[in-house]
């Protein structure tokens, strides 16, 4: 992973010292809450329902075992012994005290971590494919590009006070595993006909109260011109994005209102004025790439006899393998997804004991590096196939071997009204109820890949718009009420789900999911997944089943 140089180190340390001074001035009364709020938010410190919340940046989802250990230390010393991985691949602590926040930031700085760009109307933590650098299907590693953007955007004087927050994702394969098209800007590393690599640029994607699929701005941008292009694009947004209405201030509204062609024309006109600095950017990208360590993979056979034998002799292991492995670019290795969705558990939560245990496994089995996924799971990117059986046995000891990645119980859920001051309803208990309802593993396998995503308010941190089944918690007549959508898709075929009908009481949600799943099981063609059936049939039959049941419940 990326290692700090002296400038990175000094920058982060200075920020901690500044924040320590700001906290002291707040506690002494020299700063009012109004003055202090933007300062604490710039350091990832929010005020939630029950306590402050600290959001820690995990740039493009990459963590070292040492960093995970330090998060466990912070969880025990300054929090309540657990943390929560988010859909932005960050980590949140739910119980820090304001007076302790500077000490926590110092502990983070000790392991090259911080909370910068996890809040505010700036360019947020850049996300990437969780299999970046190891995926067999990628053109090149997208992490150095993500890091280039991170360094360029940190405290960027022109883009620190944008109309609204700004999210960028970088991927490097045809398959989109990072919901790239739901970002303000999505970047895909591609090759042109001449075989040169460059960037395909999307803009105007987003979820929230006005969900939009990102639209293509540039089919191919040569290497060396990315920052100039982003600068042009952000300048157009910064000047023309709507500051009159917070709900219309994201770039997606600008792109939608003027149209992608007009938007592209303005960006290209601005880009044409930019200084040519291709050589500089290429040199900088090369410097950053060199800060990522080179992995010395062993020369292994593509087929591991140890692995194949274990898979044959141990059905429980085979079951876990079926859902958890991703093809590694190097023969004899695998990238392994570890579910943070035990049946009935809190999606994305991890205890400090699990963190320490998992950090140890990361060292033993994955060259000391792990990843966080937007689906609130973890990845060990560099596991030898020979070691998979041993790894699985170890994971089981810490409750980390749930064989449900991508299945109906692998649910994305925002913190919702159990923690969040913005939430209109709870999310986690809904996830738990559905998870318990579908706990039977044979049934989960019968249903196959199905993504349920739950948000506790219209801001859509739980990605409900792109859930195959999406659930949105709202308030209706003084009660929590849940709207169900169908047909969302987070991949390269990104689609926004369609509302099935009126909101349901919390207790009626699992049965509604059953009815929807029932239509799929009844109508699916051979080998067809849930989302494929929905796309083939359209929503009407599902809607009828949903409404029929909803009426019975109301009666």
Partner 1 sequence: MATPLKRTPLPAILIANDLRIGDVVFWSQSGWTRDPAAALVAHDQPAADALDAAATAGMARQEVVDAYLIDVDVREGVPVPRHFRERFKTLGPSVHPELGKQAQFAAYARAAAE
Q: What are the residues binding partner 1 (CB under 8 A)?
A: 26-29, 33, 47-52, 80, 94-99, 346, 417-419, 423-424, 426, 428-429, 432, 475, 478-480
The span from the CA of 349 to the CA of 92, in Å, is 9
Return the number of the residue (180 or 350) whose C-beta is nearest partner 1. Answer: 350
- Name every residue whose Cβ is closer than 8 Å to that of residue 452 and which is 6 or more positions away in sequence: 408, 411, 412, 431, 434, 467, 468, 469, 470, 471, 513
| Torsion over CA: 367, 369, 373, 376 (sign) | positive
Give the nearest distance from C-beta 21 to partner 1 in angstroms. 16
Give the nearest distance from C-beta 428 to partner 1 in angstroms. 5
Return the number of the residue (263 or 419) whose C-beta is nearest partner 1. Answer: 419
The span from the CA of 516 to the CA of 485, in Å, is 11
List, edge to edge, every strand of the sheet that includes 333-338. 62-64, 369-372, 378-384, 333-338, 325-327
CA angle, 172 then 234 then 175, to 5°: 20
Residue whose token pair is 């500077």: 102
Return the number of the residue (94 or 121) whose C-beta is nearest partner 1. Answer: 94
Give the nearest distance from C-beta 94 to partner 1 in angstroms. 8
Give the nearest distance from C-beta 459 to partner 1 in angstroms. 15
Give the nearest distance from C-beta 536 to partner 1 in angstroms. 37
Return the number of the residue (33 or 275) whose C-beta is nearest partner 1. Answer: 33
The span from the CA of 402 to the CA of 247, in Å, is 39
Return the number of the residue (49 or 499) whose C-beta is nearest partner 1. Answer: 49
Give the nearest distance from C-beta 339 to partner 1 in angstroms. 18
Give the nearest distance from C-beta 97 to partner 1 in angstroms. 5
Return the number of the residue (3 or 99) whose C-beta is nearest partner 1. Answer: 99
The span from the CA of 421 to the CA of 118, in Å, is 17
Return the number of the residue (76 or 110) whose C-beta is nearest partner 1. Answer: 76
The span from the CA of 489 to the CA of 538, in Å, is 14
Residue 40, burial from CB neighbour count under 10 angstroms (0-12, 13-18, 19+): buried
Cβ–Cβ contacts within 10 Å for residue 219, how many?
11
The span from the CA of 455 to the CA of 158, in Å, is 32
């Amino acid at each position: 992973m990326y290692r700090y140089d002296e400038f990175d180190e000094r920058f982060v340390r200075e920020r901690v010292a500044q924040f320590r001074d700001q906290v002291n001035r707040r506690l002494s009364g020299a700063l009012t809450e109004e003055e202090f709020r933007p300062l604490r938010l710039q350091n990832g410190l929010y005020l939630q329902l029950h306590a402050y919340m600290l959001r820690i940046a995990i740039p493009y989802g990459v963590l070292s075992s040492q960093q995970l250990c330090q998060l466990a230390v912070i969880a025990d010393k300054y929090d309540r012994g657990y943390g929560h991985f988010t859909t932005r691949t960050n980590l949140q602590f739910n119980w820090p005290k304001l007076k302790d926040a500077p000490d926590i930031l110092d502990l983070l700085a000790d392991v090259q971590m911080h909370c910068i760009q996890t809040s505010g109307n700036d360019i947020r933590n850049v996300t990437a494919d969780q299999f970046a650098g190891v995926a067999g299907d990628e053109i090149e590693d997208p992490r150095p590009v993500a890091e280039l953007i991170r360094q360029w955007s940190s405290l960027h004087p022109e883009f620190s006070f944008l109309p609204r927050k700004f999210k960028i994702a970088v991927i490097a394969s045809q398959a989109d595993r990072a919901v790239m098209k739901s970002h303000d800007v999505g970047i895909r590393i591609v090759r042109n006909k001449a075989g040169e690599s460059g960037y395909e640029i999307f803009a105007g994607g987003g979820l929230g109260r006005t969900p939009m699929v990102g639209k293509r701005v540039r089919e191919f941008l040569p290497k060396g011109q990315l920052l100039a292009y982003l600068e042009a694009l952000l300048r157009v947004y910064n000047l023309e994005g709507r500051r009159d209405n917070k709900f219309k201030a994201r770039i997606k509204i600008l792109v939608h209102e003027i149209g992608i062609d007009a938007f592209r024309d303005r960006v290209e006109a601005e880009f044409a004025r930019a200084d040519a600095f291709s050589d500089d950017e290429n040199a900088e990208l090369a410097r950053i790439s060199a800060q990522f360590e080179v992995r010395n993979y062993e020369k292994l056979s593509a087929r591991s006899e140890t692995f194949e034998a274990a898979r044959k002799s141990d059905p429980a292991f085979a079951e876990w393998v079926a859902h958890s492995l991703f093809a590694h670019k190097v023969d004899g290795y695998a990238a392994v997804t570890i579910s943070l969705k035990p049946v009935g558990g809190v999606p994305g939560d991890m205890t400090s004991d699990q963190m320490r245990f998992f950090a140890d496994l990361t060292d033993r089995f994955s060259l000391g590096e792990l990843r966080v996924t937007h689906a609130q799971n973890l990845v060990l990117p560099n596991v030898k196939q020979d070691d998979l059986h041993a790894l699985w046995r170890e994971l089981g000891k810490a409750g980390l071997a749930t064989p449900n990645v991508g299945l109906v119980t692998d649910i994305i859920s925002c913190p919702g009204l159990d923690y969040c001051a913005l939430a209109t309803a709870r999310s986690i208990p809904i996830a738990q109820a559905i998870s318990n309802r579908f706990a039977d593993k044979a049934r989960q396998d019968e249903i196959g890949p199905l993504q349920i995503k739950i948000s506790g308010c219209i801001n859509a941190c739980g990605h409900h718009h792109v859930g195959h089944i999406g659930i949105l918690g709202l308030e209706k007549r003084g009660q929590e009420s849940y709207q169900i959508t169908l047909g969302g898709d987070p991949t390269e075929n990104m689609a926004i789900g369609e509302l099935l009908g009126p909101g349901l009481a919390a207790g009626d949600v699992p049965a509604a999911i059953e009815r929807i799943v029932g239509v799929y099981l009844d109508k699916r063609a051979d080998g067809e997944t849930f989302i494929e059936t929905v796309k083939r049939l359209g929503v009407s039959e599902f809607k009828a089943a949903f409404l029929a049941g909803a009426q019975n419940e109301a009666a």
